Amino acid sequence: MSAQILDGKAIAAELRESIRQEVDRQVAAGNSRPGLAVILVGEDPASQVYVRNKKIACEKAGFNDVSEVLPAETTQEEVLALIDKLNADPEVHGIIVQLPVPDHIDPEEIIERIDPCKDVDGFHPYNVGRMATRMPIMAPCTPHGVMTMLSKTGIGLRGLDAVVVGASNIVGVPQLLELLNERATVTICHSATKNLPEKVAQADLVVVGVGIPEMVKGEWIKPGAIVIDVGINRLEDGRLVGDVEFEVAKERASWITPVPGGVGPMTIATLLENTMKAAYKLDCKSK
């Protein structure tokens, strides 16, 4: 039987609409619009597309977009000075630096400089620590977007065997924490993992974010498993594919995300959600 499709595009559109309505309510009550600063250093083509999409989503949701595109030769000190300025600006509620950054920029120092209350990517060690101690405030957008999608299946995560493939700071590690906090039993796999096909074959839920086209084979998937594909890869023939062999996997899975139109749109919608929370909620206790 063919899997049900987890339509990220539709779920994200619903979330964005609810955010837009909340912003309208807040503005009608005299509050300011959420302000999001997306900083792009250099001209990485994929990052340019992501940043453009974030900008459009911001405008549609009624946010103030205060994005900054900086030339590739911008120094570390200049990026830090810009972050200091945005940290101090009361009209800016969220700050993200699009990754990857050029080689001469140290991303860790940049991430740590962002005020944790404005860290809408959830990458600051303060926010990672909050998540790891089951007191999350700002959750990284892609894994949290995956959690929103999973809630739409109506399947409880408690006690499920979950396998996360890929252990990046952006996807795999925060995904592990999110699933653990929902009481799933989580195995995280990476490039040094032995017997990956066997590990995947045991999973009730598989989340893959490795950036390698169709690396997880459809025949590894346990019949009835939920498959979440975070990857998006362009092949030489121009096709976009995920990190999972979709055509075979969809014949075994119970639910599966498509690529494109699966996890991707959820990342941006969750970024808006985090920025709105940063703008209107007073639950950040980092200071």
Active-site positions read 54, 98, 121
In the bound state with ligand GUN, the residue whose beta carbon lies nearer, of 97 and 206, is 97
3-state secondary structure of 162: strand
CA gap 51, 38 in Å, rounded:
7
Q: Do the strands 68-70 and 226-229 form a parallel or antiparallel pair, or are they unpaired?
A: unpaired
**Token pair 């065997």 in the structure block, residue:** 161
In the bound state with ligand GUN, the residue whose beta carbon lies nearer, of 97 and 200, is 97
Q: Least separation, in Å, of the C-beta of 145 and ligand GUN?
A: 9
- Phi, psi angles (nearest 5°) of residue 229: -110, 110
Given 3, 41, 86, 121, the residue binding ligand GUN (CB under 6 A): 121
Residues in contact with ligand GUN, shown as a per-residue x/- string from 248 to 267 under the rule CB under 6 A: -------------------x
Q: Least separation, in Å, of the C-beta of 142 and ligand GUN?
A: 6
Cβ–Cβ < 8 Å for 131, 177: yes
> Which residues, at least 6 apart from 237, have a Cβ–Cβ distance to it below 8 Å?
none
Residues in contact with ligand GUN, shown as a per-residue x/- string from 75 to 114 under the rule CB under 6 A: ---------------------xxxx---------------
Q: Which of residues 123-152 bind ligand GUN (CB under 6 A)?
A: 141-142
3-state secondary structure of 214: coil
Binding site for ligand GUN (CB under 6 A): 96-99, 121, 141-142, 170, 267
